[in-house]
A and B are shown apart, each in its own frame.
Chain A
Amino acid sequence: MDIVLFDRAFTPFIIGTHMLYTIWAMTLPIYIVIAEYLGYKHNDPVYYAIAKRMTPVMIIFFSVGSAFGVMIAISFLTLWYKWMYLVSQIDIMPLIVEVFAFFMEVIFLALYVYGWNKFSRTTHLILGIAIAIGANMSAALITWVNSWMNTPVGFNIQAYLQTGKIEDVNPWAVFLAPAARYEIPMAISGAIYAASSALMMFYAYRMFRVKDPLEKEYYTKGAKLAVYFASIDAFLVGLTGDYAGKSLAVEQPLKLAAMEDALYSGKGLPEVVGPIKIPKLLSFLATGNPNGYVVGLNAFPKSEWPPVTIVHNAFDTMATFGIIIAIISWLIAISLIFKPKNALFRILGLADGKPFDHFLPKAAMFISGILGILAWESGWVAAEVGRQPWVIYGVMLTSQAANTSPIVIPVAIALGTVVVFLVVYTYYLLNKVFKTRPIALDVQRAAEELGSLGTAYLNGGSFVKLSSSEGKKEVKK
């Protein structure tokens, strides 16, 4: 087997798997904190229970995800050590600062998990926000390293290419890598988008099955939050995506040409998605001007082209699926907020502000989750394959960086098996536990905790709203 090819397949496998966990690390703290806040604000034990039930999910995803994070760090060190050597010499600062963010995430996660009812409500919410900041900072800093690989700075590239010596190093300059400006916002908004759509899928799946009114209320409220998340983030993804496209046109024109499969350079180029061709749209999207000039693949030697078919299809998958999710989440959000009654919304099952009572919106939400994950992974494939054949653009070829030791194959296969085991087992365990743990139990506990602070109490399966003093009396009983 070609060991370089094996390295190139194995590393994306680990990173691609890790990415399925990072989206949760970045999104769940925000989601949980908002649910907790709504629980406090409306004295609503259902929102409070959502926050509490999602907390162990966050812990387990964090622990397995962080194991994959260490795996990536060490697989870079071992499988790509020649690349890592350059990173260590020039681009190490974002990685070091990332450790700080990682520590922040871990410590505040621990404080948040063990701090329920130990800290004041406000402090507990702030701890949750701190987890989100740590997780998203961590993601931003890792993306910073990747940005440097796309647009390397901070050393004398010409001298390195001529002599192989690393000269004139400015380790702080990597924070000014041009690609960071558009990669980081895109990565963060994209991750939250993927997780939000996956949450929509989860709640839709559950809502198809539940009959109990309390469980229905639980999943409906969870789904509402997920839909609002996705619909708001859709705007951010659109804005950051547009900015990334325009920046790519200037800073990484070859990658953009591969993504768009634009063979020839020119003005007023059309956007082609499958059989659809929209005149001048590519020029407009890339430059802001319908007659703008866009550089095509033919402007570069063919030896430097990335695998255009893979990059183009991955890009189209990301863009198309992203747009579909936006439409679905916006329509459901409009239904929830404005409660439209017109015929179109009635046909779509979106009338009267009750989308979750109808099959079509729930099916669309379920599909959104699958599309969101595919869009997330496809976007990353388009960005990474789009840089090939370079691992550091214009500086080091991927084939030069790979470890070609034969020992890599058996050990990496063993490692891969453990990864698959952990992924499958984690989802199996979570599913098993939540299936056997009644929501009513968690809502009752939530009601008791909130009741002890004031107003709501669950009595025989239905909620009784009480005054603060009555709530305290019930809890004492």
Chain B
Amino acid sequence: MVSIQFISFLFSIAVLSYFAAMFLIDVGIAVFTPITKEGSYKSKMSLILDALWAIIGTSAVYLVVTLESVYATITYVAGIALLLPFLAFLIFLALHHGFLGYAEGFGFLGIKHLEEKYILAYSIPTIILAFIGITIFTSVLSGIGINASTLEPDYVKMFFNPFNIMFFIAIAAYTIYYVTLFFNMKDKLMIAGISLTVANALILAGLYAYVPYVFSKAITNPGFWIYLVVLYAMLYSLHKGFRFNNVISVILTAIGGIIMGMFMYPYVLNGAVNVYSLMTNPATLAAADIVITIIGLFVVGGLTAIAYKILYKSKQPQVTTSSHK
């Protein structure tokens, strides 16, 4: 029989993967907006960002609370080993939210130049946020920069180690592929293909060198290879202009996160700590799972889709009107 702990683990990985899939759209837009010319994909990106950023921000709280409810002991990991990255994360998160809020507020008032100014400003803290977020993830996965028995951190090692840098570049490359697919940028097909290959190569090389047990699980699992084939097949779909590329790209990214989680299972810190030893008491886990599921079903799935669809559609005419002006 499946244990409550395993179900809770699955929930936590699913929420983490959902957040990653949403946040990477944010990061991708932050990367593309300053370098994309007006009139191409810029307006579309602006629409998506306006519609989704607050939901992405709320998903961060959903993730933190889910992790706290499933892994009570994680509070000690956060308070001792990950104190600096978490506090640094907050600094840039505040700037990210602030600049986006200003941009949206001015956009609502029709003050275009101020909206654009703050959209440009938001991209810097967003990329730094992504780097810190990835650092937290790679440290927990590989244990680099964290003493597994005392949780004593070595921050220089944690931030500036080859595995973290490789992973950051890999995620940046994957983001290019992801955003290309999400926004149906047919003209960037080649770049997307190269980016995806770079991302896969760097992630596999990093896992091989620094977290070998995850690497072994991945390459011996047929599901992993099928997943890779599907990712490349999506490039063909992009070429053909399949209309659901955006939705599928989000789902595929979330599935990628879940696959990574399953390969890590049941360890963190490079096999030194079993996740079950970090878990909350079963009574709280069972209760938390019920509410997390309800939120997941009604909010994460349904309302995100509704909000995206309605907002996206409802803002379309405004853009058309303003462009005529």
Q: Do A and B bind each other?
A: yes
Give me the interface of A with B, judged by CB distance under 8 Å: 55-57, 59-60, 62-64, 66-71, 73-75, 77-82, 84-85, 87-90, 92-93, 95-100, 102-104, 106-107, 109-111, 113-115, 118, 166, 169-172, 403, 405, 407-408, 411-412, 414-415, 418-419, 422, 425-426, 429, 433, 437
Q: Is the CB of B79 within 8 A of A403?
A: yes
Assess the A60–B281 pair: CB atoms within 8 A: no
Set of chain B residues within 8 Å of A62, measured between Cβ atoms: 54, 101
Q: Which of A85, A88, A425 has the most CB of B within 10 A?
A: A88
Complex Cα distance A408/B298, Å? 38
Contacting B314 at CB < 8 Å: which of A67, A90, A104, A118? A118
**Chain B: CB-nearest residue to A61:** B101
B89: nearest chain-A partner, CB-CB: A74
Which of A97, A111, A407 lies in contact with B307, CB distance below 8 A?
A: A111
Q: Which of B89, B109, B288, B295 has the most CB of A within 10 A?
A: B109
Q: Is B86 an interface residue (CB 8 A)?
A: yes
- Bound form: Cα–Cα A405–B151 in Å: 13
Tell me whether B199 is interfacial, beta carbon within 8 Å: no
The interface centre, meaning the residue of A55, A80, A81 with most chain B CB atoms within 10 A of its CB, is A81
**Contact for B51 among A60, A88, A114, CB less than 8 A:** A114
Min distance, Cβ A183 to any Cβ of chain B, angstroms: 21
CB of A424, distance to nearest CB on chain B (Å): 11
Residues on A with beta carbons closer than 8 Å to the beta carbon of B96: 67
* Chain A residues touching B, majority SS: helix
Which of B50, B62, B93 lies in contact with A103, CB distance below 8 A? B62
Which residue of A56, A71, A115 contacts B90 across the interface (Cβ within 8 Å)?
A71
Q: Are B58 and A93 in contact (CB under 8 A)?
A: no
A77 x B68 contact (CB < 8 A): yes
Question: Once the chains bind, are B281 and A114 in contact (CB under 8 Å)?
Answer: no
Q: Is B128 an interface residue (CB 8 A)?
A: no
Interface presence of B111 (CB below 8 A)? yes
Q: A73 to chain B: which residues have CB within 8 Å?
A: 61, 64-65
Q: A85 contacts which chain B residues (CB < 8 A)?
A: 72-73, 75-76
Taken together as a complex, chains A and B put the C-alpha atoms of A59 and B64 apart, in Å, by 23
Q: Indicate if the CB atoms of A433 and B109 lie closer than 8 Å.
A: yes
Q: Which residue of A lies closest to B302 (CB)?
A: A107
Q: Is the CB of B62 within 8 A of A422?
A: no
* Distance from A69 Cβ to chain B, minimum over Cβ atoms (Å): 7
Considering the complex, give the chain B residue whose CB is closest to the CB of A98: B65
B109 touches A422 (CB 8 A): no
Contact of B64 among A64, A77, A111, A171 (CB under 8 A): A77
Partner of B79, one of A79, A99, A118, A172: A79
Cα A418 to Cα B89 with chains together (Å): 12
Residues of A within 8 A of B89 (CB): 74
B84 at the interface (CB under 8 A from A): yes
Please tell me which one of the listed residues A89, A97, A98, A110 contacts residue B72 in the complex, with CB atoms under 8 A apart: A89
Among B79, B310, B311, residue most surrounded by chain A Cβ atoms (within 10 Å): B79
CB < 8 Å neighbour of B299 from A70, A81, A103: A103
Instruction: Check A96–B69 contact: CB distance below 8 A.
Output: yes
B280 touches A88 (CB 8 A): yes
- Which listed residue, A56, A166, A405, touches B281 by the CB 8 Å rule? A166
Taking the closest CB of chain A, its distance from the CB of B70, in whole angstroms, is 9
Min Cβ gap B320→A in Å is 14
A contact residues around B100 at 8 Å (CB)? 63
Q: How many residues of B contact A (CB 8 A)?
A: 68
Listed A/B pairs (11) with beta-carbon separation below 8 Å: A67-B97, A77-B75, A77-B86, A92-B68, A92-B69, A103-B55, A103-B58, A114-B311, A403-B83, A415-B94, A418-B94
Which chain B residues (97-140) contact chain A, with CB distance < 8 Å? 97-98, 100-102, 104-106, 108-109, 111, 114
Residues of A within 8 A of B86 (CB): 74, 77-78
Task: Report chain B residues within 8 Å CB of A55.
Answer: 108
> Does B283 make an interface contact (CB < 8 A)?
yes
For B93, the chain A residues whose CB sits under 8 A away are 67, 70-71
Smallest beta-carbon distance A133→chain B, Å = 14
A91–B62 alpha-carbon span in the complex (Å): 16
A60 to B102, CA, bound (A): 6
**B315 close to chain A: CB less than 8 A:** yes
B247 within 8 A of A: no
A160 smallest CB distance to B (angstroms): 12
Specify the chain A residue showing the minimal Cβ separation from B313. Answer: A118
CB–CB A88/B75 < 8 A: yes
B60 on the A face (CB < 8 A):
yes
Indicate if B292 sits at the interface (CB-CB under 8 A).
Answer: yes
Contact between chains at B75 and A95 (CB < 8 Å):
no
| A92 partner residues in chain B, CB cutoff 8 A | 65, 68-69, 280, 284, 288
Contacts of A425 in B (CB 8 A): 98
Q: Which residues of chain B are near A69, meaning CB under 8 Å?
A: 61
CB atoms of A415 and B105 under 8 A apart: no
Chain B residue, CB-CB nearest to A91:
B284
A60-B101, A77-B75, A110-B307 known; A67 vs B65 contact (CB < 8 Å): no
Complex alpha-carbon distance, A305 and B304, angstroms? 49
Name the distance in Å between A298's Cβ and chain B's nearest Cβ: 38
Does B57 touch A at the CB level, under 8 Å? yes
Task: State A96–B65 Cα separation when bound (angstroms).
Answer: 6
Q: Is the CB of B105 within 8 A of A56?
A: yes
Known A107-B299, A411-B83; further 14 A-B contacts with Cβ < 8 A: A57-B105, A63-B104, A64-B98, A74-B64, A77-B75, A95-B65, A99-B295, A107-B303, A107-B304, A110-B311, A169-B284, A411-B87, A415-B91, A418-B91
A90, B281: Cα distance in complex, Å? 9
- The docked-state distance in angstroms from the alpha carbon of A414 to that of B86 is 13
Contacts of B80 in A (CB 8 A): 81, 405
Interface assignment of B78: CB less than 8 Å from any CB of chain A: yes
- The minimal Cβ–Cβ distance linking B55 to chain A, given in whole angstroms, is 6
A64 touching B105 in the complex, CB below 8 Å, given contacts A78-B79, A81-B76, A95-B65 = no
Within 8 Å CB of B233, what residues of A?
A: none
Q: Is B259 an interface residue, CB under 8 A from the partner?
A: no
Contact B101 A64 (CB under 8 A): yes
- Expressed in whole angstroms, the minimum distance between the Cβ of A49 and any Cβ of chain B is 12
B294 at the interface (CB under 8 A from A): yes
Residues of B within 8 A of A110 (CB): 51, 54-55, 307, 311
> How many angstroms between the C-alpha atoms of A113 and B104 in the bound complex?
10
Measured CB to CB, the nearest residue on chain B to A113 is B108
Query: Once the chains are docked, how many angstroms separate the CA of A159 from the CA of B9?
Result: 28
Query: In chain A, what residue has the closest Cβ to B317?
Result: A118
